[in-house]
Chains A and B, each alone.
Chain A
Amino acid sequence: DIQMTQSPSTLSASVGDRVTITCRASQSFSTWLAWYQQKPGNAPRLLIYDASTLETGVPSRFSGSGSGTEFTLTISSLQPDDFATYYCQQYNTYRATFGQGTKVEIK
């Protein structure tokens, strides 16, 4: 299985900050990577797919990039609604795997 490692595990930031989350894969693949946002008590929500394509309805302050083994999720200007946990997931293989998550907290 491809192992996905996110960093940092926790991130403290303020409204308006630029935030970057990294996801590294144990094996190289193309761009079959998604980012999800999850708030407490809720199901995850798809933000980005194919590493850099914004899902319909997702604010443009979210962006994704990368290929191979390193991927990033960037929030250009953090908003109050963005405090949540973010997960990457590779779907290059049938047994898609998630990163361990990055919690974005209020500083």
Chain B
Amino acid sequence: EVHLLESGGGLVQPGGSLRLSCAASGFTFSSYAMTWVRQAPGKGLEWVSGISSADNSTYYADSVRGRFTISRDNSKNTVYLQMNSLRVEDAAVYYCAKNEGIRPSSRIDCWGQGTLVTVSS
């Protein structure tokens, strides 16, 4: 059974940094793209970033480009989201998600339960 477990969320001040982790199990991690999606309180889903399994190409939403970095460690079956220069508007539940294919331009077929990021002074 596919399982995604996020960690690393918490309270951070504006301008601060956090690193989210997502530990994957139940599938051949190195063969699938991974994606981060966020959901601000009471709002809809926002695609944040994706990373290919074929060549580790990375992709970002305009709202986070230059501040967030996605990476993966296939030896640890883990995908990361390094978030720098955090803003109040980055506060959300961050979901880790597995893509169906090798590239982020494929459907998401499994989601983690999410980790909450709060940005406040």
A: residues with CB less than 8 A from B are: 1, 32, 34, 36, 38, 42-46, 49-50, 55, 85, 87, 89, 91-101
Segment at the interface with A among B18-26, B83-91, B99-107 = B99-107
Interface bracket on B? 20 to 34
Given contacts A43-B111, A44-B111, A94-B50, whether A100 and B44 have CB atoms under 8 Å apart is yes
**For the complex, what is the distance from the CA of A71 to the CA of B45, rounded to whole Å?**
18
Query: What are 25 A-B residue pairs whose CB atoms fall within 8 Å in the complex?
Result: A1-B62, A32-B107, A34-B107, A42-B113, A43-B111, A43-B114, A46-B107, A46-B110, A49-B107, A50-B107, A85-B44, A87-B44, A89-B45, A89-B108, A91-B108, A92-B105, A93-B105, A94-B50, A95-B104, A96-B47, A97-B47, A98-B44, A100-B44, A101-B44, A101-B45
From B95, B104, B111, A96 is in contact (CB under 8 Å) with B104
**For the complex, what is the distance from the CA of A87 to the CA of B108, rounded to whole Å?**
12
B85: min CB distance to chain A, Å:
20
From 15 to 65 in chain B, residues with beta carbon under 8 angstroms from any chain A beta carbon are: 35, 37, 44-47, 50, 57, 59-62
From A1, A38, A43, A91, B113 is in contact (CB under 8 Å) with A43
Residues of B within 8 A of A34 (CB): 107-108
A70: min CB distance to chain B, Å:
19
Residues of B within 8 A of A100 (CB): 44
B111: min CB distance to chain A, Å:
4
**For the complex, what is the distance from the CA of A57 to the CA of B37, rounded to whole Å?**
23
